[in-house]
């Protein structure tokens, strides 16, 4: 089970390349290093199961999560490319894709975001992040957040499955969000829906979450 991860939220202009590279080294290359270690032996034995804790943000990018989502997209692409070869050797690969999970990990990321310096971006972007994104995120976690124990139960079901799924989403509330992308290959439907959700109907979003 690959579960190493770090988070990053905020305006892109306020994030250093060094921090981005460090995040990718953990979230993506950490997985790659693990798979390189265990896969050869699994192939020799013609049996094994690699379970990767991904994220719904590996399927759909979320505003102000640019680099974190990129790392999870990399995880998804890596595993999607590898799974067919692995199956030839009777090795299963499963992606567990949670939405928001209420942990100290998330709390620390958002606490740091509230204290961060946003002088390197324009005032409008800083205002959108602090007064729209951070405020809405608290409501999202309070309303839709799962516990670590819940994610562990989902992961256990994937591990014990007679035919392990390649993808397993843990929160049905996010299924429509992921489906938008597939409903319109041009991306216009998804982009328009998220734009309106963030900038036009944020009050309705907060009310519905509460």
Question: Which one of the listed residues 68, 110, 118, 174 is annotated catalytic?
Answer: 68
Tell me the pLDDT tens digit for each residue of 30-42: 999 999 999 999 9
SS3 208: helix
Report the pLDDT value the prediction gives residue 112, as an integer from 0 to 100: 81
Rg of the Cα atoms in the chain: 18
**Is the confidence at residue 209, as pLDDT, over 60?**
no
Q: Grade residue 85 by pLDDT with cuts at 50, 70 and 90.
A: very high
More confident site: 157 or 138: 157
- Domain membership flag for residue 2: no
- Domain membership flag for residue 4: no
In terms of phi and psi (left: phi > 0; alpha: psi -120 to 50; beta: otherwise), the region of 196 is alpha
Report the pLDDT value the prediction gives residue 115, as an integer from 0 to 100: 82
- Domain membership flag for residue 191: yes
**Is the confidence at residue 75, as pLDDT, over 70?**
yes
- Domain membership flag for residue 27: yes
CATH, residue 174: 3.40.50.720
Q: What sign for the dihedral angle of Cα 74, 27, 175, 190?
A: negative
SS3 94: strand
- Domain membership flag for residue 122: yes
* Total-model pTM: 0.89
Report the pLDDT value the prediction gives residue 173, as an integer from 0 to 100: 80
The Cα 15–Cα 19 span in angstroms is 7
- Domain membership flag for residue 96: yes
- Domain carrying residue 59: 12-209
What is the average pLDDT value for the chain, to the nearest integer? Answer: 90
Q: What is the mean pLDDT of residues 65-71?
A: 96
**Is the confidence at residue 203, as pLDDT, over 70?**
no
- Domain membership flag for residue 47: yes
| Count of beta carbons in the 10 Å neighbourhood of residue 103 | 15
**Residue closest to 156 by CA, chosen among 203, 94, 101:** 94
**Residue closest to 49 by CA, chosen among 3, 97, 88, 90:** 90
The Cα 41–Cα 38 span in angstroms is 6
Q: Grade residue 108 by pLDDT with cuts at 50, 70 and 90.
A: confident
| 110 in catalytic set | no
Count of the separate structural domains present in the chain = 1
- Domain membership flag for residue 6: no
């Amino acid at each position: 089970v690959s579960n190493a991860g770090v988070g990053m939220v905020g305006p892109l202009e306020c994030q250093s390349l060094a921090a981005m590279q460090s995040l990718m080294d953990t979230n993506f290359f950490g997985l790659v290093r693990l798979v390189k270690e265990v896969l050869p032996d699994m192939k020799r034995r013609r049996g094994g199961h690699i379970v990767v804790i991904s994220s719904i943000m590996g399927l759909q990018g979320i505003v102000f999560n640019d680099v974190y989502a990129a790392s999870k997209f990399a995880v998804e692409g890596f595993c999607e490319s590898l799974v067919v070869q692995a199956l030839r050797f009777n090795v299963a690969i499963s992606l567990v894709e949670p939405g928001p999970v209420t942990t100290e990990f998330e709390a620390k990321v958002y606490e740091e975001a509230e204290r961060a310096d946003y002088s390197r971006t324009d005032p409008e972007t800083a205002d959108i992040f602090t007064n729209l994104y951070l405020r809405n995120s608290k409501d999202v976690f309070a309303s839709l957040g799962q516990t670590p124990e819940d994610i562990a139960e989902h992961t256990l079901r994937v591990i014990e499955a007679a035919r392990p799924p390649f993808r397993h989403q843990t929160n049905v509330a996010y299924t429509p969000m992921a489906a938008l992308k597939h409903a319109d290959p041009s991306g216009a439907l998804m982009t328009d829906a998220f734009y309106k959700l963030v900038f036009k109907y944020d009050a309705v979003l907060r009310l519905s979450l509460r």
